Amino acid sequence: MKKTHFLVSMLALAFFSSCQNGDENDNENLRKEEVHAKTVNVTNHDGRPFSTGSGSAAGKFVSGPGGGVLMQGFYWDVPEGGNWWNTVKDKLTAWSDSGIGAVWLPPASKAQNGAYSMGYDPTDYYDFGNFNQNGSVETRFGSRTELEALITKAHAENMQVYADIVINHNSGGQSQANPFTGTNTWTDFSGVASGKFQRSYNDFYKNSYGNNDEGAFGGFPDLCHANPYVQDWLWGRDDSVGKYYKNVMKFDGWRFDYVKGFGPWVVNNWNSNVGGFSVGELWDSNVNTLEWWANNANSSVFDFAAYYKMDEAFDNGNLNVLNDDMMWKRNPYKAVTFVANHDTDVINNKMPAYAYILTHEGYPTIFYRDYEEWLNKERLNNLIWIHNNKATGTTSILYTDTDEYIARRNGYNGNPGLVVYINNSSSWQERWVETNWSSQQIKDFTGNSGWYPTTQGDKWVKVQAPPNSYSIWSLNQ
C-alpha cells in the first residue's frame, strides 16, 4: 500500500494517495590467487510459481529453464478515467513475447474514493466497476467487462494474473452506534451494492473478539479476522472473496497488502481454502522476520532484505554487502525480488540491480514504469531472456569487493547456468573465475564484452565487465 499519499476526511477516510581469447592460458597460480571464491549454499530454484508452457504458438509466454518473471502492471496514481485495464491488456502480447509470465494488478474492486481511488480503501469486494456506488460505476481502472477481457487475454498469452488483496482494513462504511467504543464508527457496510459480505461494527476491532489484532492502518476500520463470519466471507464460502476472485473472475494468485496488520495464519487459511500463488507485502528488512512470516503464512514474501542491500550496494558503492543474508538465500521458492514498486523507489542505479535479481534465485519482479517509461527496454528484455534461459541452479558468490561482484549460477538438469559480473567502478575490470564448464567457449550474452574465451580444463577462465555496468557469461550455444 502507498504509505504517503492519503488524505483522510472526517466522513470517508479516503485515499488520494571487450582482447580476444589469448588470455585464458595465463598463469594458473596467479589467477587462482586473484579470485577468492565464496559459495552460498542455497536451495536449488529453477521453476517459478506458474506452469511451464509447452509448444505454444509465437506470441504466447513459454516458461524456459529459468522460469519467467512478474510484471507489476501499475504504479501509484495511474491515469484516471477508467482506461487502465485496456492499457494493460494492449501490452500483454509484447510482455509475453519478452518472457514475462505473470502480471500483478492493482486492487480491482470498488473503493471509498470511487473513480479516483487506487483501490487500497476497499468498500465492496464484489464491485469490479459494475455497480453505481461511491460516486461512479467504473473504478479508476475501468469496468468489470474490461477487467475480465484483460484476464482472458492474459490467459490466452499463457500468462497468470495476480490480484492485489486488501483485507486489513475497509473504508466507505456508514456511521453507526458502536457499543464497543461508546461512539459512532464508520463500520456499517450493510448497504454495499453487491449485497455480498455485508459488515457491521462487530466485524471490526474493537468488538466482542477483542480490542485489536497485530496492527491497524491509518485510522481505517480494522477488519476482525478472528470473527468466523469474516473468515467465511473472505475464504470459506463458495462465494467468498477469495473463491469468487479465483473461480469467477479467474485470478491466479494474490499479492496481500499490509500483512503486518494481521497474523500470518490469515494468509495461510486463505491459501489452504482458495489456492493459487501468493506473496505478502511484509515491509521489513529483517530476513528472520521475512522467513518467519513466509513459513507461517505458507506464502512467498517480497524480499525487502535484498531490496535494501541492493540500494546500499549499487547506490552507495559497497558491493560487499551482497554477501549479506537475504530472503532468496534462505528460501528462493518463497522470495519475490524487486527493484522498485508503487510504494518505494529508493534505488537510483537500477540496471545493475535488475542484472542482479534477473540472474539470481528468487522470483523477480519488473516495475511497470521502469520497463515502459524510465529504463532501456531492450536491455531489460535481454536480462529477462537471460533469466528465463540461463539462470538455473544454486548460486555461488565467486568474488566481491567494494566495486566488483561476481557470482555463478551452477546450472540444473542439463542447463549450463551462468556467471554474472557486476562492475561499479569507472573502468573496465577483469577477473579469473571458476566456471561450470571445462574446455568450452563462452560469451557475454549482454553483448557488453566482445570476448569469446575458452575455459581451461579445470574450468577457470578470465572474464571482464565494462565500467558501471555488467556482463553475463554462459556457453556459446
Positions marked active-site = 257, 281
Burial class (CB in 10 A: 0-12, 13-18, 19+), 254: buried
Q: In terms of C-beta density within 10 A (0-12 exposed, 13-18 middle, 19 or more buried), how is residue 66 classed? A: buried
Is 232 annotated as a binding-site member?
Answer: yes
Can you spell out the DSSP letters for 416-436? --EEEEEE-SSS-EEEEEE-S
Does 222 show up as a binding residue in the annotation?
Answer: no
Strand, coil or helix: 379: helix
Asked whether 392 and 419 are in contact (CB, 8 A), the reply is no
H/E segment holding residue 336 = strand 335-337
**268 and 298 Cβ atoms separated by less than 8 Å:** yes
**Opening angle at CA 150, ends 144 and 155, nearest 5:** 130
Which spans in 23-143 are helix H?
28-34, 84-98
Cα R_g (the chain), whole angstroms: 24
| CA–CA distance, 166 with 188 (Å, rounded to integer) | 18
CA atoms lying within 13 Å on the CB side of residue 433: 31
- Quick one: angle between helices 377-390 and 350-357, nearest 10? 20
Peptide bond into 462 cis (omega under 30): no
Burial 224-238 (b: 16+ CB within 10 A, else e): bbbbeebbebbbbbe
Using the Cα atoms of residue 369, residue 109, residue 219 and residue 10 in order, give the sign of their dihedral. positive
The C-alpha cell 469468487 sits at 244
- Per the DSSP assignment, residues forming a β-bridge with 337 are 364
E strand map for 10-105: 38-39, 69-72, 100-105
Q: Pull the grid cell for residue 49.
A: 510459481
* Residues 301/314, Cβ–Cβ less than 8 Å: no
Question: Rounded to an integer, what is the distance from CA 284 to the centroid of its chain?
Answer: 15
Q: How far apart are CA 370 and CA 355, in angstroms?
A: 13
Where is the binding site for Ca(2+), in residues?
168, 232, 238
Q: Mark the binding-site residues, compressed into ranges.
A: 168, 232, 238
